[in-house]
Amino acid sequence: MFKRVLKGWIPFVSGVLVVTFLMSLWQGEKVDWGFVITFSLAGLIGTFIGTVLRKASKKE
């Protein structure tokens, strides 16, 4: 199950990094690493919840 969570999380984190970097370039500011960490953790939690729900629905 952990591998499945990581498979869904890695592309999400990559997207967050790219979007954050592009936003910082667009606004002419430094990269907000707090934003990256917050959204990455939120994506990890959401992916984990989705994986658990999918696994629970398959058992029924």
Distance CA 43, CA 53 (A): 15
Query: Coil, strand or helix: which one is 1?
Result: coil
Q: Where are the alpha helices (DSSP H) in the chain?
A: 2-27, 33-59
- For the cut 70, the answer to whether the pLDDT of residue 59 exceeds it is yes
Q: From the centroid of its chain, how far is CA 40?
A: 4
Q: What is the pLDDT of residues 2-32, one digit of tens each?
A: 677 777 778 888 888 888 889 899 998 888 8
**Tokens matching residue 25:** 């370039």
- For the cut 80, the answer to whether the pLDDT of residue 1 exceeds it is no
